[in-house]
Amino acid sequence: MQTELSTRLGIERALFGFTPFPAVAAALSRAGGLGVLGAVRYADPDELKRDLDWLEAHAGGKPYGLDVVMPAKKVEGVTEADVEAMIPAGHRRYVEDTLARYGVPGLDAGEASGWRITGWMEQVARTQLDVAFDYPIKLLANALGSPPADVVERAHEKGVPVAALAGSARHARKHAEAGIDIVVAQGYEAGGHTGEIASMVLTPEVVEAVAPLPVLAAGGIGCGEQVAAALALGAQGVWLGSVWLTTTEADLHSRALTRKLLAAGSGDTVRSRALTGKPARQLRTEWTDAWDDPAGPGTLPMPLQGLLVADAVSRIQKHEVEPLLGTPVGQIVGRMNSERSVQEVVDDLTRGFERAVERLDRIAGRSQG
């Protein structure tokens, strides 16, 4: 499972794993892939430093990366309080009414929300980078496309390649023009923010659009045969996110949520704006249904929606209110039906990849057996 890109980055397998959990990132790097830690939840740079210290100590000397959420265009002088003030009172009432309907308790007095999308704000992401560039990260990825030009330049000065996610060939070409080194072609099947083009169509379009830049395929990949298909379409590796959520190293803090993921089929997700204001694939729940209900007020644009629902999501998660309990996850959730270690997942991906290559060799008449 070696490609030109994996060789260049010093990893044994062309498996790139996005995860919010340092233990998953470290385990994937030790297993020969590249663990990429998601930074969006780190509003406090000291918390990011703590987890990068841990990752550095537990990655076994293997490479790892960081994923941030930065808009390409800078917005001057806007604080979180300024954005909070833009949220209509009617939307706040709708949140409270929905939670009351399901009997969701509040947070304790003085308890802060444990789930808060603040990493989208440029000043927060820049503090994350100030921390991250003190570590030997081997990849910087941006979930919102091309980061600002000075961030790309700063990464390159540090010798760190920059990756950006794209949902269309048009987006991918813009990334190439912005000096991005690696394009992640993220298909419709993917968890989290995603576009409307399926991976089988998107991957070769992006490969052709940005050649000779390397492309990683993302969305709907959870077995080795799919890895082989992605490489056959021209990708130089795969970007995996959802498949790590049910690994033993993942720390979801909720057995109820793990049970829901293990029980879900590939048709049990929905692209909804309920979480952040942008279409994001996640488990379909009564919470997502409430925000998609025409009788409701509708979602707010990003970042207002994320700030609006932050405390509500924390309350739902803390008290494990199962009808409302969900998470971003891709359609590959239908294959995530048992808890396994990261190493077991990597071993299974490798075996499946080898089976697929042997099958194609037989079809092409190249089998030696």
**Rounded-to-integer distance, Cα 282 and Cα 5, Å:** 30
For residue 37, give every residue at least 6 positions away whose Cβ sits within 8 Å of its Cβ, in sequence order, or none. Answer: 19, 20, 22, 25, 51, 52, 55, 64, 65, 66, 67
CB neighbour class for 77 (10 Å; exposed up to 12, middle 13-18, buried from 19)? exposed
- Helix (H), strand (E) at residue 183: strand 182-186
How far apart CA 203 and CA 218 sit, in angstroms, is 8
Question: 153 near 133, Cβ under 8 Å?
Answer: no
Q: Is the pTM of this model over 0.85?
A: yes
pLDDT tens for the chain, residues 1 to 369: 899 999 999 999 999 999 999 999 999 999 999 999 999 888 889 999 999 999 999 999 999 999 998 866 555 556 667 878 899 999 999 999 999 999 999 888 766 655 555 545 677 888 999 999 999 999 999 987 889 999 999 999 999 999 999 999 999 999 999 999 999 999 999 999 999 999 999 999 999 999 999 999 999 999 999 999 999 999 999 999 999 999 999 998 889 999 999 999 999 999 999 998 989 999 999 999 999 999 999 999 988 898 899 899 999 999 999 999 999 999 999 999 999 999 999 999 999 999 999 999 999 987 655
Helix (H, G, I), strand (E, B), or coil: what is residue 238?
A: strand
Give the tokens for residue 287: 């919470």
3-state helix, strand, coil in the chain (%, to 5): 45, 15, 45
* Residue 291 Cα distances to 192, 276, 286, 315, angstroms: 16, 12, 9, 17
| Cβ proximity of 8 and 15 under 8 Å | no
Instruction: Write out the two tokens for 96.
Output: 């409270």
